[in-house]
Amino acid sequence: MAFEKEIEKLNKKREELESSELIEKQHQKGKLTARERINLLLDPETFVELDPFIESRFQQLGMAEKRIPGDAVISGFGKISGRQVYLFSQDFSKMGGSLGEMHGQKITKMIELATKTGCPCIGIIDSGGARIQEGISSLDGYASIFRAMIRASGVIPQISVIVGPSAGGASYAPGLSDFVFMVEGISQMYITGPEVIRAVSGEKVSFEDLGGAAVHSQKSGCSHFIFKSEKDCFLGVKKLLSYLPQNNLADLPRQKGLLAEFFEGETMRLLEIVPEDEKKGYDMKEVIEEIFDKNSFFEIQSGFAANCLIGLARLSGYSVGLVANQTRFMAGTLDIDSSDKVARFVRFCDCFNIPLINLVDTSGYLPGKDQEHRGIIRHGAKVLYAYSEATVPKISLILRKAFGGAYIALCSRQLGLDKVIAWPSTQIAVMGPEQAVKIIYKKEIAESREPKEMEKEKIEELKSAFLSPYQAARLGQVDLIIHPKDTRNTLIKCLESLLNKRESKIARKHGNIPL
């Protein structure tokens, strides 16, 4: 047989790429190996590995003995549910998955190929960060990855899956990704580890308290999805991809199904879910379940800034981005964290032409000294900027109230909303009547013989003048006032009417979003 010896040599080299001792080492830590992770994520038999024999060029500090083929990362391409993706998976069992020159080169190559070919790029991260022995070449490895990611931003979806440490430089690849997945108990992300922190400031902290999955999904907002096991986590990645187009020029996905499923008719139950008394909270997730395709809501950042819900859903099969006030928490107000959360999500949807639907029920930005001092103006401005800049279809449904800044940010046609729909009981105003009378009738109330009575009277007067959608409808700022039972069907019709929306932008280098 021709090439027999060479083929034998190749097979031997391939076998050497993963030794059983290293597999065991990883399993003992309760983690899967880099290769097992790829197999879990991709469709069977679709993975094609690139650069398996790349090696570090470094000899010093023991590197001559340590370097291994592949340089502690597996990279290549394959398919997820039939769709092409590029990916890399860091191998912690080899030099702690640390990133040296060639390791960095492999990852950069992957991101560039994904960008050129318009395919999502997925990074599976399990790494001690910059490889100390390779010095500045490791840092340059990161620099080239970051540059490639930034160039790919808004062109292809970029996903980071953290399944081990993501230390130092390794944390900024997730930081630059569109979505970050973490697994309870095994994922830890930080720029400086506990040892360094203790040496610098004397502060003692565990890996988990510093950068565990709970910290990043609830406090820092750096993670978007958290799962109990690696298996569930990879299923989550597949689910997310099912909502996303391949790239910024690809068509919006529409899930195939029976047309009858897409039009389930009236949404009467909304009248039971949403209380008439606007001071009473309710679970916006129940509203979402009633309006959008059954079980299609995939919430993003569920543990962070719970006063505002964001996520992907389907409406008549079409992928849509959903932003909704959750009145159960902080009356659904927009605070600093929720402003950041909403603004970034709106920009993501805009990059990938995913239509936006807002479900609005809030009295506005959160008042308070703490919020003002921490920069609610700067953070809140991001929401205004993101919506105004977005050229995707933008639809707002106002359920009960939209006061002040929340009206401007989430449902103002003047800010660029395409369709504003209101239920008949909707209140739209600069602020609530109780607060408003204290400002505009301050003198009259103070001078009145019966101030309490007068205040009540004036509140009623304001309510009848402003607290309905009709003033906004007369001014053409609310397009439709509908019976709540018609919510789903109206949203479907409005969405379909906007699917071919095109809007050009002013030529400029780029705007300057408040960061």
Query: Which of the residues are catalytic?
Result: 168-169, 405-406
Is the torsion defined by CA of 159, 163, 168, 170 positive or negative?
negative
CB closer to ligand HXC out of 90 and 396: 90
Dist. CA 192–CA 258, nearest whole Å: 52
User: Residue 63, interface with ligand HXC (CB under 6 A)?
Assistant: no
- The site string for ligand HXC over 34-53 (x = CB under 6 A, - otherwise) reads --------------------
d(CA 270, CA 247): 36
Residue 26 is a binding residue for ligand HXC (CB under 6 A): no
With respect to ligand HXC, which residue has the nearer C-beta, 128 or 174? 128
Binding mask 112-131 toward ligand HXC (x if CB under 6 A, else -) reads: ----------------xxxx
Name the nearest CA neighbour of 299 among 287, 318, 313: 313
Among 70, 76, 157, 165, binds ligand HXC (CB under 6 A): 165
Q: How far apart are alpha carbons 215 and 188 in whole angstroms? A: 9
- Minimum CB distance to ligand HXC smaller for 19 or for 497: 19
Site for ligand HXC, residues 179 to 208, rule: CB under 6 A: 191, 193
Q: Which residues of 197-215 are buried (b: 16+ CB within 10 A; e: fewer)?
A: eeeeeeeeeeeeebbbbbb
Residue 93 or 412: the one with the smaller Cβ distance to ligand HXC is 93
104 is an interface residue for ligand HXC by CB under 6 A: no
CB 26 → ligand HXC: shortest distance, Å?
A: 10
98 binds ligand HXC (CB under 6 A): yes
Rounded CA-CA distance 228/201 in Å is: 33
31 contributes a contact to ligand HXC by CB under 6 A: no
Residue 43 DSSP label: P
Smallest distance from the beta carbon of 233 to ligand HXC, in angstroms?
Answer: 19
What region, left, alpha or beta, does residue 308 occupy, with left being phi > 0 and alpha being psi -120 to 50 degrees? beta
| CA atoms within 13 Å, Cβ hemisphere of 72 | 24
Identify whether the C-beta of residue 350 lies closer than 8 Å to the C-beta of residue 388.
no
- In angstroms, give the least distance from the CB of 76 to ligand HXC: 23
Q: Which is nearer to ligand HXC, 9 or 57 (CB)?
A: 57
Query: SS3 of 363, please?
Result: coil
H or E segment at 420? strand 419-422
- DSSP-assigned beta bridge partners for residue 427: 401
Query: Please, what is the minimum distance in Å from the beta carbon of residue 286 to ligand HXC?
Result: 42
Strands (E), 107-200: 121-127, 158-167, 179-183, 188-190
Closest to ligand HXC by CB, 132 vs 459, is 132
Is residue 132 within the footprint of ligand HXC (CB under 6 A)?
Answer: yes
For ligand HXC, which residue of 125, 167, 305, 478 counts as binding (CB under 6 A)?
167
Size of interface with ligand HXC, in residues (CB under 6 A): 16
| Pairing relationship of beta strands 73-80 and 83-90 according to DSSP bridges | antiparallel
- Looking at beta carbons only, is 26 or 339 nearer to ligand HXC? 26
Residues 403, 430 contacting (CB under 8 angstroms): yes
Which structure tokens are listed for 242? 């099912």
Contact mark string toward ligand HXC, 77..96, x via CB under 6 A = ------------------xx
Interface positions with ligand HXC (CB under 6 A): 95-96, 98, 128-133, 165, 167-169, 172, 191, 193
